[in-house]
Amino acid sequence: MKKPEHNQPDPEMIDEDNPEWTDEMFKTAIRIRDLPEALQKKLRRPGERGPQHAPKKVQTAIRYDASILEHFKAAGPGWQTRINDTLKKAIEMGLA
């Protein structure tokens, strides 16, 4: 099979019901954050994060004992959030 030229659509991949966006379409597109809030809520996928109102978290690298990770990971997804919440509680209680 012959490869398509650079910047040329692959004829086998063209979907007439969902055409590739043109430069003009990109220029006139409206960002979801610029739509009315009610419409934003309808378009946003369940579980998708919206605009951040609280301070964003900072990515870092930290080393934990293997037993600590095993404990938090054993409860399934969200283990990093649970570690974060546990550390916050320890600080609030004056333990850290």
So what's the pLDDT on residue 74?
A: 95
So what's the pLDDT on residue 87?
A: 95
So what's the pLDDT on residue 78?
A: 92
pLDDT tens digits, one per residue of 62-76:
999 999 999 999 999
Binning pLDDT at 50, 70 and 90, where does residue 13 land?
confident
* Phi and psi at residue 10, to the nearest 5°: -75, 115
* Residue boundaries of the structural domains of the chain: 15-45+57-92
Residue 29 CA: distances (Å) to CA of 9, 38, 41, 57? 21, 18, 18, 30
